[in-house]
Amino acid sequence: MTATLQEYRDLFASLPDRAERIQTLIELAKQYKPAERPKPFDERQRVPGCESEVFVWGSQQGGHWTFEFAVENPQGMSAMAMAAVLQSSLDGASADEIRAIPDDVIYEFFGRELSMGKSMGLMGMVQMCKRISQS
């Protein structure tokens, strides 16, 4: 796991109040920068199970990965927040660091009050980054 991701985990651990956590996530969603890639996107880059229609691309140089995200649902705010977290915290990460991300890290950010579909979609974003970095 990267130091930046750990910082996010520490930040959210310090926010036991749901309203504060939500506000922090909204601010993160505003920082999301969509991938600038031609459409239509390659379906192989689509996060399976994500209703917000998220696409992920990864590239690596010298074993250091960077990721780009596109959230096609204009109201997919949680997906945008998650994309912002992953984009910044996995910038320059190694495959081992990415593999070490726990799948359920999303609950540390969003809490347990997520629908099944939303959980699957957000976890799918983490899984997709892992899958790309292991390929």
Partner 1 sequence: MSHVLETQSAAISVQRLVSTAWVAEHLNDPQIILVESNEDPLLYPSGHIPGAHEVDWTRDLNDPLRRDYLDRERFQALMQKLGATDDSLIVFYGDRSNWWAAYALWVFELFGHTRSCLMDGGRLLWAKEGRPMTTKVPQATPSQYVAKPRNDEAIRIFREDVLRRVDAGAKFIDVRSPQEFSGEKLHMEGYPNEGALRGGHIPGAKSIPWATATDPETGTFRATEELQAIYKDFQPDEDVVVYCRIGERSSHTWFALKYLLGYQNVRNYDGSWTEYGNLVGAPIEQGS
Q: Is 102 in the site for partner 1 (CB under 8 A)?
A: no
46 or 62: CB nearest partner 1: 46
48, 59, 63, 100: which one contacts partner 1 (CB under 8 A)? 48
When binding is defined by CB under 8 A, the residue of 77, 86, 101, 132 that contacts partner 1 is: 77
- Report d(CA 64, CA 2) in Å as an integer: 12
CB of 16 to partner 1, least distance (A): 16
Q: Indicate which single residue of 29, 86, 93, 132 sits in contact with partner 1 (rule: CB under 8 A).
A: 29
Q: Which sign does the torsion angle of CA 98, 95, 121, 72 carry?
A: positive
Nearest CA among 117, 99, 102 for reference residue 53: 117
Helices (H), 18-115: 18-30, 77-89, 95-99, 105-110
**Residue 40: cis peptide before it, omega within 30 degrees of 0:** yes
Stretch that binds partner 1, among 53-61, 63-71, 94-102, 107-115 (CB under 8 A): 107-115
Of the candidate residues 69, 76, 98, 132, the single one contacting partner 1 (CB under 8 A): 76
Q: Which of 35, 41, 49, 88 binds partner 1 (CB under 8 A)?
A: 49
User: How many whole angstroms separate alpha carbon 126 and alpha carbon 79?
Assistant: 11
Radius of gyration of the chain (CA): 14
Give whichever of 4 and 119 is closer to partner 1, judged by the CB atom. Answer: 119
d(CA 2, CA 133): 14
Question: If binding is defined by CB under 8 A, does position 71 make contact with partner 1?
Answer: no
The residue ranges that bind partner 1 (CB under 8 A) are 19, 22-23, 25-26, 29, 48-49, 51-52, 74-78, 81, 110, 113-120, 123-124, 127
